[in-house]
Amino acid sequence: MSAQQLPPQSSMAITLQIVSIVFYTFIAFLCIGLPIAVLPGYVHEQLGFSAVIAGLVIGSQYLATLLSRPMAGRMSDTLGTKRAIIYGLWGIVLSGLLTLLSTLLQDFALASLIILIIGRLLLGIAQGLIGVGTISWCMGQVGVEHTAKSIGWNGIASYGAIAIGAPLGVVMVADYGFTSLGIALAVLAAGALLLIRNKPSVPVIRGERLPFWAVFGRIAPYGASLTLASIGYGTLTTFITLYYLNRGWTGAAYCLTVFGVCFILSRLMFISAISRFGGFRSAIACMTIETVGLVLLWLAPSSAFALIGAGLAGFGLSLVYPALGVEAIKQVPSSSRGSGLGAYAVFFDLALAIAGPLMGAVALKLGYSWIFFSAALLSVIGLGLTLLLQRRATT
């Protein structure tokens, strides 16, 4: 009888359990989204630094996330997922306070920049801890058979928060100034810390734990494909504001919103496709759509076409992470799940970390439009690698 009661629960009750956990991802990425559309302009225009420096400021957060993934994975596996998330939320509180201090020292450009970068580094570490902690918590709560759903809803929370946070940050800066950003980050994270106190976590899984670099080696082929596909996202979030300014357009924040909305719709409508058609086939189809969107951004004659390109890029990229993630996590034991998720996420972080300086250099040499051509080319290479992985898995 109890076995017959499980299927009805797995549709709604399991989803609700996942949503209650990825709520903390939503808070973290709301804090990431609030400054994302205004910080490049702040560094470039208010502080007077170049587009490359603006890219480095944004990229520093992703680099910190990348470097913190091994620690985040070990912490989730050994200390527990809830503890990892709590540490991450405290990191956001500190990042908010440093961001506030940086904006108060705007007249001292170099000092403001250094403090801002330190705050971004803390935000990046927090993102690593919360990202690994929430997905691992979800998988421990609802089971590994719901890996795609856990990763999928975590992505919905993250990109939904970016879609809300980017334009909200623009409005906040316009109405209340740059100092409002740091205050908002600290307050949001402090509120999440109050909410998480009484939420029960899942027990730590006992068993043999693979060294991180052994896990990394098993995940690497799938992660490399993810990196190549995800550079387009890093390019969009880092340079869309400067791209719009260069073209004489307005509404760059809404480009991020369209990306996020299409990303969420794709996951809500097609997350089950991964179970039906498999991770590889889903990833291949989605990477193709993403590439078309990036090409349209490259060739866009107006902001309307840029919005369509951003929407296609978001729609396509949406399922790449969970689709390849399902195949990647199969390569590691449950007792090393956190390390596996951390290793896999390293490759997404790598894409975001290198997108800033790499595409900043492309923009200086060739112009801002060509950054999207470059991202599309890398996505095509990632598509080819995924086809090779699929062929290897079926032979």
The pLDDT assigned to 5 comes to 42
- How many angstroms separate the CA atoms of 57 and 129, rounded? 20
121: amino acid identity, one letter: L
Q: Which of 392, 340, 76, 325 is nearest to 218 (CA)?
A: 340
3-state secondary structure of 249: coil
Give the residue-averaged pLDDT of 76-99. Answer: 90
Residue 306 pLDDT class (50, 70, 90 cuts): very high
* Residue 197: CB atoms within 10 Å: 8
The pLDDT assigned to 298 comes to 92
- How many angstroms separate the CA atoms of 382 and 224, rounded? 7
37: amino acid identity, one letter: A
Query: Which tens digit of pLDDT belongs to each residue from 326-341?
Result: 888 887 776 677 778 8
Give the residue-averaged pLDDT of 71-84. Answer: 83
Q: What are the percentages of helix, strand and coil residues in the chain, rounded to 5?
A: 85, 0, 15
To the nearest whole number, what is the mean pLDDT of the chain?
85
Give the residue-averaged pLDDT of 186-211. Answer: 81
- How many angstroms separate the CA atoms of 192 and 340, rounded? 26
pLDDT of 81 > 90? The answer is no
The pLDDT assigned to 206 comes to 65
Query: Which tens digit of pLDDT belongs to each residue from 274-293?
Result: 878 888 999 999 999 999 99
Give the residue-averaged pLDDT of 83-100. Answer: 93
Give the residue-averaged pLDDT of 81-92. Answer: 92
Fold that domain 14-198+212-393 belongs to in CATH:
Growth Hormone; Chain: A; (1.20.1250)
Residue 119 pLDDT class (50, 70, 90 cuts): very high
The pLDDT assigned to 6 comes to 40
Backbone angles phi, psi at 223, to 5 degrees: -65, -35
pLDDT of 2 > 60? The answer is no
- How many angstroms separate the CA atoms of 256 and 237, rounded? 7
Question: What is the residue-wise DSSP string for 27-77?
Answer: HHHHHHHHHHTTHHHIIIIIS---HHHHHHHHHHHHHHHHHHHHHHHHHHH
Residue 311 pLDDT class (50, 70, 90 cuts): very high
Model pTM score = 0.74
